[in-house]
Amino acid sequence: MDARIVVLPGDGIGPEVTAEALRVLEAVARKGGHAFHFSEQLMGGCSIDRHGTALTAEALAACKASRAVLLGAVGGPKWDDPTAKVRPEQGLLALRKGLGVFANLRPVTVHPALIDSSPLKADRLQGVDILVIRELTGGLYFGQPKGRDVRDGHERAVDTLEYFDFEVRRVVELAFRLAQGRRRKVTSVDKANVLESSRLWRQVASAIGQAHPGVALDHMLVDTASMRLVVAPASFDVVVTENMFGDILTDEASVLAGSMGMLPSASLGDGGPGLYEPIHGSAPDIAGQGVANPVGTILSAAMMLRHSLGLPAEAGAVEAAVHRAIADGCRTKDLGGSLQTSRMTDEILRRL
């Protein structure tokens, strides 16, 4: 395997955790005789500081020409001005749009050794194995019109929740394909009792469900789903939902695993480069201290091996090494342990 991989370390702890994931990928390459060629680009606040934009055309072109993209995190207090015209998060939205990735896969599993790290009762965490698929190209984050003006002497802000049927269809079809290799159950989350966009979503999802009789489909309102993630998380298999709902629900689901630092994600489209990143943010409060949990980023690299590089055995080996390290008591600070970021990676590499 010969592959070009673009690394976007980003802001805060992003450079720290991506560096650890690269150590793991380099070990995989050595052991398997693969050639991974890494190049680094700026994105987020660091790109704003250097170039005045969160993602340059050159950085996006490099990402498009790669086999896969590994991202750390973007943002921080330095750039957290809601009135600013240029914000770090704009780079992430532009990157997703530019790569044509439309589905964000976020697996949520609970390691038996980390059950006590979750605020939920242990009996509710038994058997939790959820794959949340979040639509990435539509919804409130992209709908038009969008902006601010003054009406009748009052400042007004407008965001539009917009979806086309094809955007819904392709992400729901992906959910059904992935469910066939799991427990064959899809939960489509919407707000169809209020929103017209959700009624379209439910209509399209229902039609796809009828075409896949071997996979069970149920519809759930987003408020009900947010409650059931806490009281009965093991009842979910594959969850597919729109952009903002998925953004919120997966952050809620992260507490099941004990820490947001544990969870990876993959953003996929139709054959182009995949985008891989932990679900956590830039955590500026711990940046530079060497205590960030690298597991979410390392597991994101494992998803890269599986989905973009076609190396499922290597992906499984990385995941197994992470599993063994945690089972053996290896913990970073967020999980109640004392291991530094690099030491946690050392323990994973020792088991790879």
Q: Which residues are catalytic?
A: 141, 191, 223, 247, 251
| Of residues 264, 297, 270, 247, the one with CA closest to residue 7 | 297
Measured CA distances, 283 to 12, 82, 254, 290, 296 (Å): 6, 18, 15, 12, 13
- Cβ-count burial 82-114 (b if 16+ within 10 Å, e if not): eeeeebbebbbbbbbebbbbbbbbbbbbbbebb
The residue type found at 203 is: Q
C-alpha 77/C-alpha 68 separation (Å) is 29
Task: At 161, list the tokens.
Answer: 């929740």
CA distances, 199 to each of 122, 140, 192 (Å)? 36, 16, 5
| C-alpha to C-alpha distance for 11 and 118, rounded to whole angstroms | 27
Beta bridge partners of 154: 151
